[in-house]
Amino acid sequence: MKITGWRTLKALHNWGRPIGDINGSLISGVTEIPFLVLETDEGICGIAPGGHADIERIFPAIEGEDPRAVTALYDRMLSWVFKSGHAGSVFGAIGVVDMALWDLKARIANEPLWRHLGARQAFVPGYASGLDYPLSLDELVALHQRFAERGFTAFKLKGGLDVEQDLERLLAVRDVYRRNTAAPSVMIDVNESMSAKQAVRYVSRLERALDLSWIEEPVRRWDAAGHAAVRQQVHCAVATGENLTGIEQFEPLIRERAVDVLQAGMCWGITHFLRVANLAQAFSLPVSPVGYNTNPVAHAAAAIANHLSCEVQDLTFPTGVSVDQRIENGGIVLGNAPGLGISLDEAALAKPHAEGSWTVAQGPHVRPERAGLRLSLRTTENDTLRSGADKK
């Protein structure tokens, strides 16, 4: 069997609500989800979600190769771009190809990827996380009531602009989950918006009122010393790593004892996640994959010993996309369909539809000018941290 080509299809996901974080919001709540279809000479295709705009740079590394050599092809793709580097969108393309290869490999074996990777069971524990920063308090509570109905006992909110507002939201949502447990697990993600000292002050205020499980990305992704300073001065765990592109970038965090929970973005692929998990296990650290549409890395999470909890960002899937999994009992129940369990209705995807605005050049993910440079933990009239918001 040989890899012969690839196609790109695009689905739209209507979240049914505004979504975003401190760096910007998407008021329309409609996002584009690219899907890669990797073709072979025997007619079996691999399917994977995620941005792969740079696939033309790395496809020559796998063209004509046997798709079952997944990890060797992963390293071959990294080697193919070693001179210019594998960060950013190139790493994203490598990750999506990697997921499509794993999907192919498991389809060839006619078994779900979770079983192909050696998992004993199909259930993956998770936590609710709705990209919920632009929601009002009432909307936020209503959203998490829907998650609570699926049995979740842990949740994460977006925050970082106003500590008192964040505290109010955390307490309100914590009460929602008390229908399922007396002690819900509470997390906050501030998306690299703070200095280390500001993050310590921020967490200290929250911890006077509640038991915080972790703060996520308190400072810039590469700031190992900053993460270490936060970790040493707060009670909660520090989680980070979703934006690191390659396990070599985790080394400073490990060396500086700067992290309690290693994270990996789902869009970076299966092999990357497995390697991060192995690295974390060597240092007795848990791992937690950051969510993405169709939850593809959940298959790998089911197969490792040190998985903590998988982020679940929504309870629905993009239009024209079917996924063999269920969100229930506070996690993901993976099905028995071969591969990642993803099937695409190409006729539905080909129909004209409104465009989303997740990937436009001007945002919504634009780092604000004053991020990490604020003296106050409260919102002020001149605060510009919402400058990345999409007003559509």
> For 70-109, what is each residue's pLDDT tens digit?
999 999 999 999 988 888 899 999 999 999 999 999 999 9
- pLDDT tens digits, 48-70: 999 999 999 999 999 999 999 99
Listed by start position, the domains of the chain span 1-110, 112-342
- pLDDT tens digits, 126-139: 999 999 999 999 99
- The superfamily in CATH containing domain 1-110 is Enolase-like, N-terminal domain (3.30.390.10)
pLDDT tops 90 at residue 154: yes
Distance CA 164, CA 357 (A): 31
Residue pointed to by tokens 């000479």: 41
Residue pointed to by tokens 């038991």: 211
Q: Give the per-residue pLDDT at 307.
A: 98
Distance CA 84, CA 109 (A): 36
The overall average pLDDT reported for the chain is 93
> DSSP label at 85?
-
Torsional sign, CA 155, 126, 49, 144: negative
Lowest mean pLDDT among 21-25, 97-101, 152-156, 214-218: 21-25
Residue pointed to by tokens 């004209």: 352
pTM for this structure? 0.94
Hey, which of 19-33, 136-150, 343-357 has the most confident mean pLDDT?
Answer: 136-150
Distance CA 274, CA 79 (A): 19
Q: Single out the residue of 257, 265, 264, 262 nearest to residue 230, CA to CA.
A: 257
Q: Which CATH number fits domain 112-342: 3.40.50.300, 3.40.190.80, 3.30.200.20, 3.20.20.120?
A: 3.20.20.120
- pLDDT tens digits, 169-219: 999 999 999 999 999 999 999 999 999 999 999 999 999 999 999 999 999
Q: Are strands 24-26 and 287-290 parallel, antiparallel or unpaired?
A: unpaired
Question: How sure is the predictor about 373, in pLDDT bands with cuts at 50, 70 and 90?
Answer: confident
Reduce the DSSP state of residue 117 to 3 states and report it: coil
